[in-house]
Amino acid sequence: MALVLTEEQTLLRDSARGLISDKAPVSHLRNLRDAKDATGFSRDLWKTFAEMGFSGLLVPEQFGGSGLGAVEAGIVMEEIGRTLMPSPFLATSVLAASALSRGGSEAQKAQHLPKIADGSLLAALAIDEGAKHRPLQTKLQAVRSGNGFKLSGDKAFVVDGHTADLLIVAARSAGAAGDRNGLTLFLVDPKAKGLAVERTAMVDSHNAARIVFDNVEVNADSVLGEVDQGYGLLDGVLNIGRGAVASEMVGLSEEVFGRTVMYLKERKQFGKAIGEFQALQHRAAQLYIEIEITRAAVLKALQALDTDLDKAGTAVSVAKARAGATATLAVQEGVQMHGGMGMTDQFDIGFFMKRARVCQELFGDSNFHADQLARGKGY
Amino acid sequence: MSDLEKFRSETRAWLEQNCPPEMRKPMTSDGDTFWGGRNAKYSSDAQRVWFERMRDKGWTVPHWPKEYGGGGLDGEQAKIVRQEMAAIGARQPLTSFGISMLGPALLKYGTEEQKKEHLPKITAGLIRWCQGYSEPNAGSDLASLQTRAESDGDHYVINGQKIWTSYANYADWIFCLVRTDPAAKKHDGISFILFDMASKGVTTKPILLISGYSPFCETFFDNVRVPKSHVVGTVNRGWDVAKYLLQHERAMISGMGERGVGRPLGQIAADSVGADDHGRLDDAQLRSQIASFEVDEAALAAAAERAVDLAKAGQSHPAFSSAMKYYGTELNKRRYEILMSAGGIDALEWESDRSRGGARPRAWLRTKANSIEGGTSEVMLGIVAKRILDLPGA
């Protein structure tokens, strides 16, 4: 497979870019933040996303979606990254759609997937518990009770958790924290008794929640996939999410870089454009090279996810580790090269810096993924 | 099965049948590289057999036209040959500056007569080429070169000195930049010319490097007579040819960052450093250096693959090889810093048989030239800044 976009993929990119840059430039996020908007994204825009077929991009055609893959999800995420648009796309259309279509029973799929495709159902994946992403360390307890389970424990950093109509929750039904066996995924109604959602305002003005489960009762039909054997499904879904977030960081990095290079050409000091100074030229060139190499690694991972999800882990770790490091460099150079203006809230650059920090943590930072790679290679 | 899948399975079967087992092992020294030429030496029968089979198949240069001894493969097919060779660890059957540098320039700028004369001898490994670019006072500022070629009837008479001429002492022919118009601006008076290193007036003197090896020479020209028909491209427009060739040279050098030394770095390090109770390398800092190196190495491999695919799709920037050259060489230097650290004191022995004559420290020192030869890292960054990012000035 060539590491370039096909004609259809290029068309998808162009239509996503057209819509997002038109309807949701960075000022869209800024306005939501300043208004302390309770939803944190635009439901109208989400409707448009559904009408254009984006919300059901990964939903199989038989359930009303487009049945496309990780490469296409990455294309949309990259455009989202360029304008920092807050959108249910990642949590609902990438993570939940992948989890349901890969692990769901026919009944679960038929119940939820068409609603994801038509934009009427919002979902969220609840994984993280501690300060760092460690899915194997999941402690939230699932204790058998009658025909079902009772869930108790805490989840944090649940993207879109405050607006979700459906939660997909990773819980420990057997074994101890750290064990690969004993994890189970559950579909949970956020209005269930004993469940408390606290929206957490985050540094990037995007949406997340902390969720407390206090003996939340779920029946046997709410198990997604196999009891105790949920890790394989979860890992695959997380890898798709990691590829998507890496794509978002590529878009974010490229946008920051483009703005910064433009500033280097416009801003004059000592009687000339600061872009004439070799100290800045070389740093700009280095950043360009980092971004180009990361872009290739991310596309490679997205293609690997579509070719064979079970074998894509290493390529995904490479992509997520690279994208995190590259985005971190891009936003730091962006702020530094914008000088004092880069420190002001009035300039958009700071929004990119904040979002990059969040994307780093999302589903494992560069250290986590470099460590995964090393473990995979046996050192 | 699609045509390409069929081609892949045929290629796999052919390689399986024809690549000797010895030629699937990682190279351990410079002697394992086969360069061809009038005085070609094979380090083993397996090396000779492998070269001859690949030559007869046209696969010393799979993507060149068949009429010049290549395999006539298109981009997709050539990629499959590369991938299938990599899959079994097959060595390059023939390494030459004729393939990686002169050939592409001749294909673009050469006359039909020049192509017919030189390309088949390159693919067949009959002539070994060297590159006459740098001079003592023309390094990063290559276009200020002073070696002059003066007109004398049907000939040029060449006088001057080149430096850092790789393997000039083993080469049969040279592709050389000479000044044919001293009055013109520096980029406008240069011609690209080919001549036999056995010509009267050519002498070479190897330069001893910090590695203890002498891969580079000083090369002197004292009234060397070269037919004017040996100029490639237009007289005084040699800089165009030179720059085009440099793109290919840089792409070749960038590949060094991808070239593993056989076993994964983490395992090489574990052999000497040892592992802790969890099976992790017993040097946490080194382990994280290796892991982040391997992340970047895999990313560079994807970028190299993408660069080829972009070129095929007509979407590549001509200066992108400078970006790859920068990253690949800096990465290769990192690889060898890690290898030296992983080897500890064992990697410091310089002469013993145990250390294969100090192979590792010598290779480590050799890599320091990667970010200098073919254009320094600083020159590469300057090219990216100006030609790709369009930043102003200088």
DSSP letters, A91-139, are: IIIIIIHHHHHHH--HHHHHHHHHHHHTT---EEEE---SSS--GGG--
CB atoms within 10 A of CB A304: 23
B267 to A293: CB separation less than 8 angstroms, yes or no: no
HSE toward the beta carbon, residue A112, CA cutoff 13 A? 29
CB A252 within 8 A of CB A356: yes
A379 to B382: CB separation less than 8 angstroms, yes or no: no
- Among the partner-chain residues B266, B303, B320, the one whose CB lies closest to the CB of A378 is B266
Closest listed residue to residue B166, CA positions, set B328, B380, B369? B369
- Among the partner-chain residues B306, B309, B385, the one whose CB lies closest to the CB of A281 is B385
A285 to B315: CB separation less than 8 angstroms, yes or no: no
Q: Which chain A residues are within 8 Å of B280, Cβ to Cβ?
A: 374-375, 379
Render pLDDT for A102-146 as a digit per residue (tens, 0 to 9): 999 999 999 999 999 999 999 999 999 999 999 999 999 999 999
Q: Which chain A residues are within 8 Å of B292, Cβ to Cβ?
A: 321, 366, 370
Interface of A with B in 17-56 (CB under 8 A): none
pLDDT in the model for residue B12: 96
Minimal-distance CA residue of chain A relative to B305: A3
Render pLDDT for B45-70 as a digit per residue (tens, 0 to 9): 999 999 999 999 999 999 999 999 99
Mean of per-residue pLDDT scores for chain B = 93
pTM for the model: 0.93
A378 to B295: CB separation less than 8 angstroms, yes or no: no
Q: Is A12 on the interface with B (CB under 8 A)?
A: no
- Among the partner-chain residues A296, A366, A378, the one whose CB lies closest to the CB of B303 is A296
CB atoms within 10 A of CB A271: 6
CB A172 within 8 A of CB A139: yes
Residue written as tokens 């802790």?
B276
- The alpha-carbon gap from B291 to the nearest alpha carbon of chain A, in Å, equals 5
A373 to B295: CB separation less than 8 angstroms, yes or no: yes
- Among the partner-chain residues B287, B389, B393, the one whose CB lies closest to the CB of A272 is B393
CB atoms within 10 A of CB A174: 14
- The alpha-carbon gap from A161 to the nearest alpha carbon of chain B, in Å, equals 32
pLDDT in the model for residue B31: 79
Minimal-distance CA residue of chain A relative to B283: A379
- The alpha-carbon gap from B342 to the nearest alpha carbon of chain A, in Å, equals 13
pLDDT in the model for residue B259: 53
pLDDT in the model for residue B32: 87
pLDDT in the model for residue B394: 55
Confidence tier at B30 by pLDDT (50, 70, 90): confident
- The alpha-carbon gap from A368 to the nearest alpha carbon of chain B, in Å, equals 11
- Among the partner-chain residues A4, A265, A318, the one whose CB lies closest to the CB of B391 is A265
pLDDT in the model for residue A157: 97
Confidence tier at B257 by pLDDT (50, 70, 90): low
pLDDT in the model for residue B360: 93
HSE toward the beta carbon, residue B220, CA cutoff 13 A? 6
Closest listed residue to residue A249, CA positions, set A306, A188, A204, A196? A204
Q: Which chain A residues are within 8 Å of B393, Cβ to Cβ?
A: 272-273, 275-276
A379 to B269: CB separation less than 8 angstroms, yes or no: yes
Q: Is A331 on the interface with B (CB under 8 A)?
A: no
Render pLDDT for B331-354 as a digit per residue (tens, 0 to 9): 999 999 999 999 999 999 999 999
B306 to A3: CB separation less than 8 angstroms, yes or no: yes
- Among the partner-chain residues B291, B326, B378, the one whose CB lies closest to the CB of A370 is B291
pLDDT in the model for residue A107: 98
* A88's tokens: 């249910």
Confidence tier at B237 by pLDDT (50, 70, 90): very high
pLDDT in the model for residue A158: 98
Low-confidence ranges of chain A (pLDDT < 50): none
**Mean local confidence (pLDDT), B304-325:** 92
Render pLDDT for B75-96 as a digit per residue (tens, 0 to 9): 889 989 998 998 999 999 999 9
Q: Which residues contact A86 (CB under 8 A, 6 or more apart)?
A: A29, A32, A40, A41, A205, A206, A207
Q: Is A1 on the interface with B (CB under 8 A)?
A: no
DSSP notation for B185-203: -TTTSEEEEEEETTSTTEE
Domains and CATH numbers, chain A: 7-121 (1.10.540.10), 125-230 (2.40.110.10), 232-376 (1.20.140.10)
Strand boundaries in chain B, DSSP class E: 129-132, 148-152, 155-166, 173-179, 190-196, 202-207, 216-227, 231-232
Helices (DSSP H) in A228-364: which residue ranges?
A: 230-266, 278-307, 313-337, 349-361
- Among the partner-chain residues B266, B291, B306, the one whose CB lies closest to the CB of A296 is B306
pLDDT in the model for residue B262: 64
Q: ipTM more than 0.90? A: yes
Q: Which chain B residues are within 8 Å of A379, Cβ to Cβ?
A: 264, 266-267, 269-270, 275, 280-281, 287, 290
* B153's tokens: 């009837």
